[in-house]
């Protein structure tokens, strides 16, 4: 592990995350909606990975550097494009509308502090395993391949779950109904479970170096907290709680980790 080079690059990667968020803030002000920040989430991870890849040239193993960069950029850009397509033509996200209604003073500056700068800091923190992997001296080995396999499972859950949900919503006959088919019958949150696998998979790439793993394990732990207890599963389920049929859906469907749906009357 090239620790000095890794430390020297941390400022530049923080700058990359900040730059993406500030550009997105400017776009949000121009369009009058802050939901565009959700597009920047995945794009900022891709930017941090690319900056790390450039800075680590001649430092870490080229195979590991390329692997972790490709995995991160592929995940980040797929997520950004999916959210951009999903939000096209829509107004403000209800989450941000509610937040801005509680703002004291200028609501845009409140959003800058509470959303854009916070998300930029989280991107930098969560991507620490990606940054550290760029400076590993060893070649691609067993832990890297294991991490890639876990990453692939996660990306599959995300992409397939998002596609299934989009097709379900596109059918007018399903208006007002709860999506409970495909992967959504095995877990109420295939996309969040996918994110969970992606970031634990990326962490496994640095697991071959114990010191690097110890220094960056906070990252997948933070992502796991956000997905399960923070702005992911917990927030969405509070929003969905009053929907007709949702209580029955939660009774038969796993809250996070996939498993076959419960049959009626089972515990």
Of 65, 20, 70, nearest to 47 (Cα)? 20
CB 75 within 8 A of CB 152: no
Task: Give the integer Cα–Cα distance in Å for 205 and 226.
Answer: 22
Structure pTM? 0.93
Q: What is the pLDDT of residue 228?
A: 94
CB 125 within 8 A of CB 224: no
Chain-centroid distance of CA 179 in Å reads: 21
β strands within the chain, DSSP E: none
DSSP assignment, residue 115? I
Q: What is the DSSP string of 153-192?
A: HHHHHHHHHHHHHHHHHHSGGGTT----SGGGGT-S-HHH
CB 45 within 8 A of CB 136: no
Domain boundaries, the chain: 1-139, 141-260
Give pLDDT tens digits along the chain (267 positions): 899 999 999 999 999 999 999 999 999 999 999 999 999 999 999 999 999 999 999 999 999 999 999 999 999 999 999 999 988 878 887 778 888 888 888 999 999 999 999 999 999 999 999 999 999 998 999 999 999 999 999 999 999 999 999 999 999 999 889 999 999 999 999 999 999 999 999 999 999 899 999 999 999 999 999 999 988 898 888 888 888 889 999 999 999 999 999 876 554
Q: What is the pLDDT of residue 264?
A: 60
Q: What is the pLDDT of residue 36?
A: 93
Q: What is the pLDDT of residue 234?
A: 87
Number of separate helices (H) and strands (E) present in the chain: 13, 0
**Each residue of 21-80: pLDDT tens digit?**
999 999 999 999 999 999 999 999 999 999 999 999 999 999 999 999 999 999 999 999
Task: Give the integer Cα–Cα distance in Å for 170 and 184.
Answer: 16
Task: Give the integer Cα–Cα distance in Å for 145 and 143.
Answer: 5
Q: What is the pLDDT of residue 69?
A: 98
């Amino acid at each position: 592990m090239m620790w000095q080079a890794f430390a020297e690059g941390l400022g530049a990667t923080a700058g990359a995350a900040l730059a993406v968020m500030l550009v997105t803030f400017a776009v949000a002000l121009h369009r009058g909606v802050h939901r565009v920040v959700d597009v920047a989430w995945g794009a900022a991870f891709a930017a941090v990975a690319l900056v790390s890849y450039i800075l680590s040239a001649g430092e870490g193993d080229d195979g590991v550097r390329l692997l972790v960069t490709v995995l991160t950029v592929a995940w980040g850009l797929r997520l950004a494009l999916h959210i951009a397509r999903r939000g096209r033509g829509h107004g403000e996200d209800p989450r941000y509308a509610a937040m801005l209604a509680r703002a004291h003073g200028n609501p845009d500056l409140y959003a800058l502090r509470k959303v854009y700068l916070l998300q930029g800091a989280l991107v930098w923190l969560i991507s620490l395993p990606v940054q550290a992997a760029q400076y590993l001296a060893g070649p691609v080995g067993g832990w890297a391949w294991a991490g890639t396999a876990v990453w692939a499972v996660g990306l599959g859950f995300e992409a397939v779950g998002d596609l299934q949900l989009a097709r379900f919503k596109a059918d007018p006959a399903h208006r007002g109904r709860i999506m409970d088919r495909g992967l959504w019958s095995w877990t109420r949150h295939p996309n969040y479970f996918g994110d969970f696998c992606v970031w634990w998979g990326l962490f496994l790439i640095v697991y071959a170096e114990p010191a690097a793993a110890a220094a960056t394990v906070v990252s997948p732990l933070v992502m796991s907290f956000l997905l399960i207890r923070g702005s992911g599963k917990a927030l969405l389920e509070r929003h969905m709680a009053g929907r007709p049929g949702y209580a029955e859906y939660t009774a038969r469907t796993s809250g996070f980790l996939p498993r076959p749906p419960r049959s009626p009357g089972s515990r």
